[in-house]
Structure 1
């Protein structure tokens, strides 16, 4: 595997998703599995419109000093990689329309063609209280993926976790979901709060 090529791919995807407002300045995470027990992930200081070699770090599943530099989401990514063999890429984003839609709904049922065809419907996971979410997230997210037999998880008021074997398919699925949620909000007349 050419790790530099993989880093370049992650950088390109991060920039594209940053421009679509899926990532904040220091908010979100993106990773790629490199070996059986290793993965690349953004550092906690990464700015997603400028991901370079210094903004990515390779971690072993077994925690060592490098984990101190990694994204706060690294433990969640490690849990998914270790439990779901088809996970090659993982992404945590906070797309504004999907996250906003999750605040008032329990299910996302796209009414547009691409959303209906590619996504179907998605249950919205309620993390209950946020105070201990990061302690629970590592086990609850991987468990959700396995028990629901899905590769996308919308978490109320928090964002979206997704994994895939293909980076471009993962990005496409996120983009379709976000567009579907935007259309659902436009239909309800609630999108004016998001207009610039």
Structure 2
């Protein structure tokens, strides 16, 4: 994949995702596979509302000094790319309605037409404990995706990991899922 094109796509969708509160200030991660052993990802101090070239870093599967500046989620992204050939773009986000819904539910069944047609039922992954989550997450997330044959993992109280083949599909999937959860929360009297 062309690195300039991938960077341009990441910048474009990250700004949109920031405006929708899917990515925050210093919170979340987004990446694109460049070749089988390299990907570009945001740095840990990136602000998603206006990513520039200095906010991104090119990483190789063999770790070097650049990994020190990369997002805390870089190992998770690497393992998804190493183990799932279809993954071209990966994102971790914490959309508020998805995350809120995940706290009190074990699965997500969209009741709106578009959410139901796209996702059907989604099991909500429970990490059980958060104190060692970042040690376990790099292996648990990609294994779950492979075992369940899914490109999305909704994690209880944590957010969403998702991969897609295009940046557009990545943003679209998160937006559809967040809208479905917003409607579920509203219909259950969560917000007014």
State the match for 1:74 in structure 2: 74
CA distance in 2, matches of 1:64, 1:5: 24
Output the aligned Cα RMSD: 0.7
- CA drift of 1:19 comes to 0.2
**3-state SS in 2 of match to 1:49:** helix
TM-score computed with the length of structure 1 as normaliser: 0.96
CA distance in 2, matches of 1:62, 1:79: 12
State the match for 1:126 in structure 2: 126
CA distance in 1, matches of 2:103, 2:109: 15
**Count of aligned pairs:** 192
State the match for 1:110 in structure 2: 110
**3-state SS in 1 of match to 2:82:** helix
Q: Unaligned 5+ residue runs, structure 1? A: none
TM-score computed with the length of structure 2 as normaliser: 0.98
CA distance in 2, matches of 1:81, 1:117: 27
**3-state SS in 1 of match to 2:39:** strand
CA deviations over 1:142-165 (Å, ceiling 9, x no partner):
000000000000000000000011
State the match for 2:85 in structure 1: 85
Matched ranges for 1:130-169 at <5 A: 130-169=130-169
CA distance in 1, matches of 2:127, 2:87: 23
